[in-house]
Structure 1
């Protein structure tokens, strides 16, 4: 019997699953997300996979060797405020750390919102002051106990927090990353006072400098842990009852997989679980197809997500922004806006607007016939002729063209004085422009030329819109991967078991230093990395990794002295020498000037290492998919269909999946109807099919 490698991704509108067998045959399956029971949305896709292979569901699941999963549970709970009530314990005198919020009001807001100064306010605090307690203790920056922990004070604080409604506890003492003895004792007292209580210690979860970011992230993690645990238990139970014997793995924001047990303790590390999968998939397919620099663009039903692969590696961020809160956790850098196929269009003050509000999975766009009454991007695509109403979700859902026309006419066309077709094209033009603007922010505003990148377009709606925003950006190629509709799920299946360990240990060079190794002792750097690497290896082996399969990458966060923000610098040396320390500082200067301009560096002021980080990985068993199985060379002629483009109706060639084969050349205007997505080639573009089954669009 064949072994199966399965990966699923639960989105806001659709749930996607990729099933690859031991022969490399790939199956792509989509089903509507079930918001109240996400596991059943995954189960629906697995039923489709079993039917496609002609085997019972329980047999397919019994033969699954690896099951990897991405989830939005933590993300949604955080954005919707559905986490558990956190009782936060801090050092006396620092209980206002979260309400102060560094004094910023514009965090997480877009440009338009930040301009509304009269209504600009801070976001709601994660832990209200009534659930924050201060205790007497003090450890200094060097880890020395200045004031012993007052244990009676701790017991009083715990009891008051319980009375105030605390369901879980977070402990973030001022210098706990330098010495964790007080935090560990606080955890023991909490257990004595509230047996079985869930406690998150900042010294275990996030031992890094910066009390606001560390406290915020620790508190959010504490609030999300029970929510994620409940969801994971339900998910595992549902699939186990259906026949799955393999222990599922979960995608993390850093692009790696973890066991359910490990990730429950680091719930906040899953808030970008789904979107980062697409970046990892683009990296993997780009390596096979010869693309080193990639702009990843994911247009789903709710949002549009953009990331970068630079020189073959995903661009990482030291922080993770969710809503208006910035978590101090490294993640694959992905930026998102509310621009998906389900984005709602409206006319306000005579101006046509699209998004960020979404119709979601229920009721969805009006054309789905599930009760939606407002026009969306998907309704516009259908009215314009790009979507075939009989081909959506492989024909399992017939789209209602008349309903789509009625809601566009009522809410957009008549209020704006346009025809239905003009209104629909206006909706598409606006959403395409918003997506192009986001790509510019990720490329041009970061010092990159879009002309040096290929655009990978995926998600259910990305391949339909990429011909437009890709051309506007001037990128040489728009690549629609063969896995486009389930690309994030495919990337989850491409990931490895990953464990991140970090520690803040500030080390500075005096102003004017030229021999950096004199102030940054190589032996001390080496010892710190060795300590973190041993911990990461131990945790991976405990999660089931073979000890000889673990590889470790090392990084430091560095800044110029007296500056606030840091940059991450990789350390390639196995054992650090004085020359490696000097090379590390030189690399930091290169990265700094690449980001902020030549000559911006100020070495005379000295540099400071703030945090050491190791990323340990162990490969997950998988098989490579066989691109030759994804298409045939059937010499059929394309069909024809009318499409409203450029203000007029035009004839477009329509290709089906069985038309596609390696070397096929397509002249625009053309539409490629795949069972799970639709690809559009613009009037001034051509497209071809490569050896992996990817569709590559280029401007004439």
Structure 2
């Protein structure tokens, strides 16, 4: 009987390209490639990738046993504000819930700051008669008929999605559940979501906002997931369609269609998972993920595990749901270089985007960008075809840079060097405070460069921030797709606790309820797991404070006798973050949290089969002039496919790969490790190449 090969497919759908990573389960052999994205129909790009796998690589859809993907569709829909016309049903008296928000200005010293426009227009908010007390008991019964009429009135005004956010539904969802179920029966064409289904946490504005976001993107995301499921079934892919989540986990796409807000940071979280996977496989447990794309740099910290946050910001909006702690720096390959009113060179935050993109893309863009500076510096061989079939136009890059060269009195080469210098300075100015806020020293970490542009700029930034080394994984341009394959099933649950001094019995009841809910969620997911893990934590604060610290518990069950230890852990955490604590101060536990993990089978990352004598140099495919620090120097160009474990490369050098370009400046040296990672370090003074 012939052994049937089995494959795992990871996909990352970006704005410009869709990345695919295919792993053969028996051997761990990795195949990666890119195909152009189809913004109007994201599922089409996945289908195109499946066809490429079948026609060019001989991998039939039915041989794929595991399929997981990440997408920026929900994120882009929110940022571009082109989601569904959304309505909001609230308790009478709370019509301006989203309008008022938290009454905080993003920039208190700016007298001209613009008010953030709510996702739901005020004319599409309806007040309904119902009210619960703070303890969850009913004060005013729900008027179901009037609420249904309100929803019908919204539909008559063009509303296609509705969010239900009722007072104290986090304590008792009885009214929300009754109304949501009724609307789904009576108005099946209306996309309905209720706050207790999305994220049942106290804080009316944040709970209302996350529910409104879910409704705003829900219609489009449900159509996308349905289309993807149908397309995959049509081509013969039998694996369950899975999607990555903001919290670094995965879930069935059918579940994500009901709660798409959980996938907002799907793509960046996949990249962080890829960084963690690379670090654990190669023994690098302290990494700074440096994912540089067209618009921004996403920074993720790996310190043995990923760092998480419950206070993310996406565009104008706070997101209280747990997510991988990813910070964005406004500098990318598409960032536009321009002159301010004083004639000073600036870079970003405006971006050329994917279309038309940098001038060198040849898609109609005419403004100089960071990518055009890379081209003028000589980092791309003339005529080289990049991943996805893109060939950069050197003359268009020159022409775009010339628009700045004249006013500045510089050559285009000097302008290109200046653009990279300003970009690096912008990154440094945002990166160092970011690390300081987290209480971290960059010198304790290695910089892991990925994304299409990350390996081109990582060494320039590393020189400034003083990291120990730069790591460029074997396929940095597709690391997000690879990271999706390393993710486990993961879901977060929360309950708000009664106000006042911590009550041990109430905590036991809260945790027990959430553990049962978490276990049921995992059991309902359509893929097998190796083991189940339960993690408990608590949101705590001193009495009178407005914000919490999340403190993890040491066990997977709460025992009343452990309350003193939990309080001590809070004091210690507060001391570590703020430099002081108040051991005699009264403590409040505002929320209890449970995270369930379903550990999925992993395919070990294989070591390289190609080996060279340690310290030996590979053969360069060509030598070409590049601009470095304003001077023309000869650089060796290498094909990454020919590099072997043990090879050493001295800068200045350019390593070409289908998915990216690695620029190694002249003051760096690099070696290839057993897993194909390129490890670069700043040469010590007196260390000759």
TM-score of the two chains, using structure 1 as the length reference: 0.92
User: 11-20 or 390-399: which moved more?
Assistant: 390-399
Q: Which residue does 1:119 correspond to in 2?
A: 112
Q: Specify the alignment match of 1:640 in structure 2.
A: 623
Asked if 1:40 is matched to 2:39, the reply is no
Does residue 16 in structure 1 map to residue 26 in structure 2? no
Q: State the Cα deviation string for residues 98-129 of structure 1 (Å, max 9, x = none).
A: 101111231xxxxxxx3872320221011121
Give the distance between the partners of 2:388 and 2:46, measured in 1 at CA: 19
- Matched residue SS, 2:386: helix
Structure 2 distance, partners of 1:640, 1:547, is: 51
1 or 2 for the larger relative contact order (CA 8 Å, sep ≥6)? 1
Q: 586, 603, 607: which is aligned to 2:568?
A: 586
Give distance in 1, aligned partners of 2:199 and 2:108: 34
Matched, 1:293 2:286: yes
Moved more, 553-562 or 654-663: 654-663
Matches within 5 A, 1:221-240: 221-240=214-233
2:60 maps to 1:78: no
1:512-567 Cα shifts (integer Å, max 9, x gaps)? xxxxxxx431x432332221121122122212244873222122111222111112
Residue of structure 1 equivalent to 2:465: 473
CA contact (8 A) 2:360 2:397 kept: yes
Q: Cα offset for 1:171?
A: 1.0
1:9 Cα shift? Answer: 0.7
Preserved contact between residue 618 and residue 647 of structure 2 (Cα < 8 Å)? no
Listed one character per residue, the Cα deviations across residues 71-116 of structure 1 (whole Å, up to 9, x for unaligned) are 011111111112212221111111111101111231xxxxxxx387
- The 1:11/1:432 distance shift into structure 2, 3 A limit, reads farther
1:28 paired to 2:32: yes
Partner of 1:401: 394
What's the CA shift for 1:282?
Answer: 1.2
Aligned partners of 2:171, 2:103: CA distance in 1, in Å? Answer: 26
Give the drift of 1:41.
Answer: 2.8
Distance 2:638 2:146 in 1: 72
- Pair 1:65–1:456, CA change in 2 (3 A): same
CA distance in 2, matches of 1:363, 1:267: 29
Q: In structure 2, how many angstroms separate the alpha carbons of the residues matched to 1:547 and 1:169? A: 35
Structure 1 residue aligned with 2:365 = 372
* Conservation of the 8 A alpha-carbon contact between 2:329 and 2:431: no
CA contact (8 A) 1:16 1:486 kept: yes
Alignment of 1:450-489 (within 5 A): 450-489=442-481
Preserved contact between residue 12 and residue 301 of structure 1 (Cα < 8 Å): no
Cα distance change of structure 1 residues 187 and 676 upon mapping to structure 2, 3 Å threshold = closer
Say whether 1:654 aligns with 2:637. Answer: yes
Aligned to 2:525: 543
> 1:556 is paired with a residue of what secondary structure?
strand
Write the distance in 2 (CA, Å) between the matches of 1:12 and 1:190.
Answer: 35
Say whether residues 1:315 and 2:303 are aligned partners: no
More deviation, 319-328/617-626: 617-626
Alignment of 1:325-344 (within 5 A): 325-344=317-336
Find out whether 1:490 has 2:482 as its counterpart: yes
Segments of structure 1 that go 5 or more residues without pairing to the other structure are: 107-113, 510-518
State how 1:179-328 maps to structure 2 within 5 Å: 179-191=172-184, 193-310=186-303, 312-328=304-320
1:573 aligns with 2:532: no
| Structure 1 residue 496: Cα displacement | 1.1
Asked if the contact 2:176–2:196 (Cα under 8 Å) also holds between the matched residues in 1, the reply is yes
Summarize deviations over 1:313-334 as a string: whole Å, max 9, x none.
1110013311110122110011
Any idea what SS the aligned residue of 2:366 has?
A: coil
Tell me which of 154, 168, 171 is aligned to 1:178: 171
* 3-state SS of 2:608 partner: helix
Q: Which residue of 1 aligns with 2:687?
A: none
The change in CA–CA distance for 1:574 and 1:246 in structure 2 (over 3 A counts) is closer
Q: Quote the Cα distance in structure 1 between the aligned partners of 2:639 and 2:529.
A: 48
- Separation in 2 of the partners of 1:432 and 1:119? 30
Pick from 325, 345, 353: which aligns with 2:337?
345
Q: Is the 8 A contact 2:612 2:646 kept in 1?
A: no
Using the alignment, how far apart are the partners of 1:385 and 1:32 within structure 2?
A: 25
Partner of 1:680: 663
Q: What is the number of equivalent residue pairs in this alignment?
A: 675
1:175 is paired with a residue of what secondary structure? coil
Deviation track 1:484-519 (CA, whole Å, cap 9, x = no partner) reads 11111111111012222222124543xxxxxxxxx4
Task: State the Cα distance separating 1:352 from its structure 2 match.
Answer: 1.8
Q: 1:563 is matched with which residue: 545, 556, 559?
A: 545
Deviations 1:226-249 (A, max 9, x none): 110111222233333333221211
The alignment's TM-score, normalised by the length of structure 2, stands at 0.93
Secondary structure of the 2:102 match is helix
Aligned to 1:666: 649
Distance 1:5-1:546 versus aligned 2 partners, 3 A rule: closer
1:304 is displaced (CA, Å) by 1.1
Q: Is the 8 A contact 1:573 1:580 kept in 2?
A: no
SS at match of 1:687: strand
